Amino acid sequence: MTPKHPNVLFVMVDQWPGKLLRTAGHPRVLTPTLDHLARLGTRYSRAYSECPICIPARRTVMTGTSSRTHGDRSFAPAMEMPALPTMAQSFRDGGYQAYAVGKMHVFPQRDRMGFDDILLAEEGRPQLGSVDDYDIYLSEQGVAGEQFLHGMNNNDYLFRPWHLPERMHVTNWTTREMAKTIKRRDKRKPGFWHVSYTHPHPPLVPLESYLNLYERAAIDLPLGASWAGEDVPHALQTIRDHWYTRYADDELQAIRRAFYALCTHIDHQLRVLIGTLREEQLLEDTVILVCSDHGDMLGDFGLWAKRLFYEGAANIPMLLVGPSRDARIGVNRVDDRLVGLQDVMPSLLDLAGLPVPASVEGISIVGNQRREVLYGECKENALATRMAHDGRHKLIWYPAGNVLQLFDLETDPGEACNLIGHPDRVAVEQRLTRSLMDKLWGGDLDWVKDGRLVGMPRPAASPGKGDRHFGGQRGQHYPQPPLDDPARMVGSPG
């Protein structure tokens, strides 16, 4: 291994909001390992998922491109990866061994995206055509098909403790397999190791020992705002209709307790990977990047899950620690530059001393280059949401009903005050609106007339009928569920 080419450990978690770190100021969540990494490196406080839904976000990570380039801004389980250079292939072309463990969320599921090999944990999706490696492990342990017998839903906020032995929890399996992969490396080559945890994404089934850590904690309640009353934009109302339960305060706290428990479990398991690097004498020569694909609203403003551009859903944790010899990454530093998931690939390639493919649209977050505005886009038609963010002010546009919101995150980090039309913010509103319009493409162009946003009519209100398909609900997985046409998957909000 030459000094020019460090190892790279890239950790992704699923549905973890950026504010859920003690080092970011959260009063209750326990994240000692991530806090320690933040002290050793740089925390990017303005990091965002440009399309806060699992599949589009991961396509952006793996190609370094926007939704417009890679083709998905909604949630397309049957869409193959675009014909673009991937992060893994770029590392392999540069002489690295490249391995991944965990959730990849691509189609077909056994697409290796340039990795030498991938061990999959795909949250119980055999109907897409593959039995994943975590399911195979459970079968070998004599509990075939019992992964989801806890009864909790993969896209809902029911909660209970994990029902199988601790070693069989997917977080432990993912950690164990990646540690083994690191130990089995070819010592003549640097390693690019991608570990992708499926939690804290529901189902909310933490180990009971981690629930107990929060037993006496005074759990915080969701954010509220005057704009988040009964009359909200159509895209928000559909989310409220989908998760129609009105929780009491103690129920909201219990949901968050289970979610935080899943976070702390991952945080502690990261110590196993760091310990493995240390004992293999690799820690001093390894880049570590930790981020999430998107966050979770967790009840803020009466909203749940992702596909929104409020801080809970779109702002993500991003921590970067460099090799001890690389002075380009700050130590114990908070960097407030605008960062997107498209920046992960060029940043890691830059730190590894490898060329960045011309197709990549992101920029290295360790250089001097800064973007003035970050554009975000999510969903199509009446559910569409678009964002333009300049690092301080965030403009959110809902085309259905042509609703705009403007927040000053410097003075209002909780996004309680919508500044649209405020006389002191007219220039900001106009500038971000122009920037947003410059990024529109496809059917979005029909929502602009004479240089102005006009949107589309808001659909007529219809009473929420609940989720007839019980989307995200798993059953007994032995024998395996029948194969399905992924293009006809229903009931999943992504």
What tens digit of pLDDT does each residue of 289-315 get? 999 999 999 999 999 999 999 999 999
Q: What pLDDT score does 2 carry?
A: 38
Q: What pLDDT score does 436 carry?
A: 98
Work out the angle between the directed axes of helices 170-183 and 249-279 (0-180°, nearest 10).
10
Q: What pLDDT score does 78 carry?
A: 87
Number of domains in the chain: 1
Domain annotation covers residue 113:
yes
What tens digit of pLDDT does each residue of 309-324 get? 999 999 999 999 999 8
Identify the residue with better confidence: 467 or 288.
Answer: 288
What tens digit of pLDDT does each residue of 54-107 get? 999 999 999 999 999 999 999 998 899 999 999 999 999 999 999 999 999 999
Domain annotation covers residue 383:
no
- In this predicted structure, the answer to whether residue 488 has a pLDDT above a threshold of 70 is no
Q: Which range, of 3-7, 250-254, 450-454, averages the lowest pLDDT?
A: 3-7
Domain annotation covers residue 387:
no
Domain annotation covers residue 192:
yes
Domain annotation covers residue 266:
yes
CATH classification of the domain holding 173: 3.40.720.10
- Mean residue pLDDT of the chain comes to 95
- In this predicted structure, the answer to whether residue 493 has a pLDDT above a threshold of 60 is no
What mean pLDDT comes out for the span 318-346? 95
Domain annotation covers residue 395:
no
Domain annotation covers residue 196:
yes
- The closest of 46, 37, 42 to 19, measured between CA atoms, is 46
What mean pLDDT comes out for the span 428-441? 98
Q: What pLDDT score does 11 carry?
A: 98
Domain annotation covers residue 16:
yes
Residue 54: which domain range?
7-372
Distance of CA 480 to the CA centre of its chain: 28
Q: Which pLDDT band holds residue 491 (cuts at 50, 70, 90)?
A: very low
Q: Which pLDDT band holds residue 492 (cuts at 50, 70, 90)?
A: very low
